[in-house]
């Protein structure tokens, strides 16, 4: 910090300063450490133990991880969930973020009327609970109700309809698209804010040079909001690799049909809590959570050290 702290603070007796800091920082640090950081570390610790039938814990080193990654009883569902999670993330990156960018670009056009109304409506689904959104789409896509089928028929595409949520080949992508529908508001808002932040002189200069809106957007605005797009990508990554609510509320803990929509969040829940097929196993659950932690850590570090560092040059 450039400026010196005010003399009153500097002249304060040391004991009083410490007491003041304890008062201001104490509650936040205590609650956060006790209920966020400690459980994370304790979970990692627990992943190196196993329980016997009597419930006694014994240290087993990394053998839970070896089991998880090599014993086919565990590794098959784990790799299936990891692969599905990657697809889930890929759909978000390929659909949610481009739609968010396009809509933000349109909303930030100068002199556009009704932009407040559009923003409010498009952001609305983001405010709703994932459970509500999942169930609503479950009903809409249900062949029983026939709303989706009717809508497709109305535009002459009736033959395309299938019970997408029920088919192993389409369930996962359909769920990912439902999630995209709900959360497109987040990239939209963040990019919109970044676009508003671009200095007017830059855009005006381009306009004087005769560039149209589209070329201004592609060549001037888009490169300037790349850091925001990087941030959105890492937020999407963390959110997706930690997702659970949508799949659980639409498909249940078994993430059917036949685990076709199983992702790491539902796999973690089943392992930890158990379900119709298996008993809950806290130590294996802790191992799954630890693996998820490292996956998220790798993603965040890649962002911090590669994407963020490269993109800094463009920031203004």
Partner 1 sequence: MVKQRVQIFGVHAILIAYSALALGPILLVVMNSFKTRNAIFGAPLAPPTSATFSLIGYMKVFNASHIGTYFMNSLIVTVVSMALVLLFGAMAAWALTEYRFRGSTALALFLSIGIMVPIRLGSVAILTMMREAHLNDTLTALILVYIAQGLPLSIFILSEFIQQIPKDLRDAARCDGVPETRIFFEVIAPLLRPAIATVAVFTIVPIWNDLWFPLILTSSDTTHTITLGVQQFLGQYITDWNAVLAALSMAILPVVAIYVIFSRQLISGLTAGAVK
Give the span between the Cα atoms of 56 and 65, in whole angstroms: 20
| Residue 104 found at the interface with partner 1 (CB under 8 A) | no
Q: x/- string (CB under 8 A) for partner 1, residues 242-281?
A: x-xx--xx--x------------x------xx--------
Say if residues 164 and 174 touch (Cβ distance below 8 Å): yes
* Shortest distance in whole angstroms from residue 111 CB to partner 1: 9
Contact residues for 224 (Cβ-Cβ < 8 A; gap 6+): 194, 198, 202, 314, 316
User: Within a 13 Å sphere around the CA of 234, how many CA atoms are in the beta-carbon half?
Assistant: 18
Closest CA to 122 of 177, 179, 188: 188
Give the span between the Cα atoms of 274 and 268, in whole angstroms: 10
Q: Tell which positions 6-25 bind partner 1, by CB under 8 A.
A: 6, 8-9, 12, 17, 20-21, 23-25
Which span sits near partner 1 by CB under 8 A: 30-38, 65-73, 166-174, 200-208?
A: 30-38
Q: x/- string (CB under 8 A) for partner 1, residues 126-155?
A: -xxxxxx--xxx-xx----xxx--x-----
Say if residues 266 and 255 touch (Cβ distance below 8 Å): yes
Q: What is the DSSP letter of 59?
A: E
| Residue nearer to partner 1 on the CB measure, 73 or 139 | 139
* Shortest distance in whole angstroms from residue 210 CB to partner 1: 14
| Residue nearer to partner 1 on the CB measure, 172 or 292 | 292
Give the span between the Cα atoms of 268 and 167, in whole angstroms: 23
Among 2, 3, 56, 72, binds partner 1 (CB under 8 A): 3
* Shortest distance in whole angstroms from residue 172 CB to partner 1: 19
Residue 277 three-state SS: coil
Q: x/- string (CB under 8 A) for partner 1, residues 34-73?
A: xxxxxxx-xx--x---------------------------
Cα 60 from chain centre: 33
Among 73, 109, 205, 298, binds partner 1 (CB under 8 A): 109
Among 73, 94, 124, 306, binds partner 1 (CB under 8 A): 124
Among 90, 298, 300, 306, binds partner 1 (CB under 8 A): 300
Give the span between the Cα atoms of 48 and 30, in whole angstroms: 26
Q: Give the Cα-Cα-Cα angle 119, 94, 234 (nearest 5 degrees).
A: 80
Distances (CA, A) of 15 to 25, 223, 240, 247: 15, 51, 46, 53
Among 172, 176, 180, 296, binds partner 1 (CB under 8 A): 296
Q: x/- string (CB under 8 A) for partner 1, residues 224-243?
A: ----x-----x---x---x-
Q: Tell which positions 185-204 bind partner 1, by CB under 8 A.
A: 189-190, 192-194, 196-197
């Amino acid at each position: 910090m450039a400026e010196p702290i005010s003399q009153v603070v500097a002249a304060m007796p040391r004991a009083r300063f410490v007491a003041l800091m304890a008062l201001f920082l104490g509650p936040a640090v205590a609650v956060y450490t006790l209920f966020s950081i400690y459980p994370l570390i304790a979970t990692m610790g627990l992943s190196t133990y196993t329980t016997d039938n009597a419930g006694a814990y014994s240290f087993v080193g990394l053998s839970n991880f070896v089991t998880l990654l090599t014993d086919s009883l565990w590794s098959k569902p784990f790799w299936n969930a990891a692969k599905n999670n990657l697809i889930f993330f890929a759909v978000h990156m390929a659909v949610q973020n481009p739609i968010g960018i396009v809509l933000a670009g349109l909303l930030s056009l100068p002199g556009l009327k009704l932009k407040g109304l559009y923003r409010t409506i498009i952001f609305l689904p983001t405010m709703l609970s994932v459970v509500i959104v999942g169930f609503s789409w479950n009903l809409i896509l249900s062949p029983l109700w026939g709303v989706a089928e009717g809508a497709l028929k109305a535009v002459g595409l009736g033959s395309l309809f299938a019970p997408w949520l029920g088919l192993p080949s389409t369930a996962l992508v359909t769920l990912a698209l439902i999630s995209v529908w709900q959360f497109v508001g987040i990239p939209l808002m963040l990019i919109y804010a970044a676009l508003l932040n671009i200095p007017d002189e830059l855009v005006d200069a381009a306009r004087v040079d005769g560039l149209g809106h589209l070329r201004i957007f592609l060549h001037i605005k888009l490169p300037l909001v790349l850091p925001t797009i990087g941030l959105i990508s890492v937020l999407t990554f963390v959110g997706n690799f930690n997702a659970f609510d949508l799949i659980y509320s639409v498909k249940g803990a078994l993430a059917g049909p036949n685990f076709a929509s199983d992702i790491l969040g539902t796999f973690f829940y089943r392992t930890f809590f158990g379900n119709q097929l298996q008993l809950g196993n806290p130590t294996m659950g802790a191992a799954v959570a630890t693996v998820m932690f490292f996956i998220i850590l790798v993603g965040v570090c890649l962002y911090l050290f590669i994407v963020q560092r490269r993109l800094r040059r463009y920031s203004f």
